[in-house]
Structure 1
């Protein structure tokens, strides 16, 4: 079963990749190793997992404005997410998305946290405001 979401473009572009999903916000300053894209925040559900090259689906940013510096460094090191899908637009989240240059979207017609699971294949077309989700179980069945 494929699922389509409609949302608002934050950063233009098209990207696709495996989804990495968390219901927890991520701290940009001290919560991420920008060299590897690995979440290092203590007690975070994604601790030890890398978002490099994945579609990161999460509520949004938390913490200080370190988001822009951290995600700029992640882009330069090749460890940035392929795309961002998030629920709450803040200046931290906007800055992180812009410096990463990754297609980014928010303001969805349905909550992506209820539609996307880690391992699903996600195509983000921010220019058209579309997210196409191929469920992991359907990909594995082929």
Structure 2
């Protein structure tokens, strides 16, 4: 079974933090993300120099990551992405902390956490992901390119 076939069948169940339902392309980080000094809210880009996604824009993507790191300023920086129109489409994270939860709430994007399997290990950047935070579901439909451009 190929990775794309497995991904098309993947349903993760968890806890919705911010309600809503969206579908979009996944951007996966295996590292926690710093808000203050780690992202540029004006561009929605990760600017932490040693981060695996340095220079990558998360705007309009389903951001899948382990959680937040750094100070309590994390939530303020992610709120700024909402105000500047550069926020992720949704958030899916593994480690529920107060700063990550508050960041999701002030960013006002559908967010699911505490999943029954590790989304960072099971979802790949480029997968088409549906985040249904109303029901605590994350559904991976398959690679974004195939979903948008069937062959």
Give TM class, smaller chain: over 0.9
Q: Structure 1 residue runs of 4+, over 4 Å off?
A: none
Counterpart of 1:42? 49
Cα distance in 2 between the residues matched to 1:107 and 1:50: 25
Counterpart of 1:61? 68
Counterpart of 1:89? 96
Are 1:106 and 2:146 counterparts?
no
TM-score (norm 2): 0.90
RMSD value, Cα:
1.2
Q: Secondary structure, in 3 states, of the residue corresponding to 2:37? A: coil
Are 1:20 and 2:8 counterparts?
no
TM-score (norm 1): 0.95
Cα distance in 2 between the residues matched to 1:53 and 1:120: 14
The CA deviation at 1:138 is: 4.8
Unaligned runs of 5+ in 2: none
The CA deviation at 1:131 is: 1.0
The CA deviation at 1:117 is: 0.2
The CA deviation at 1:130 is: 1.2
> How many correspondences in the alignment?
142
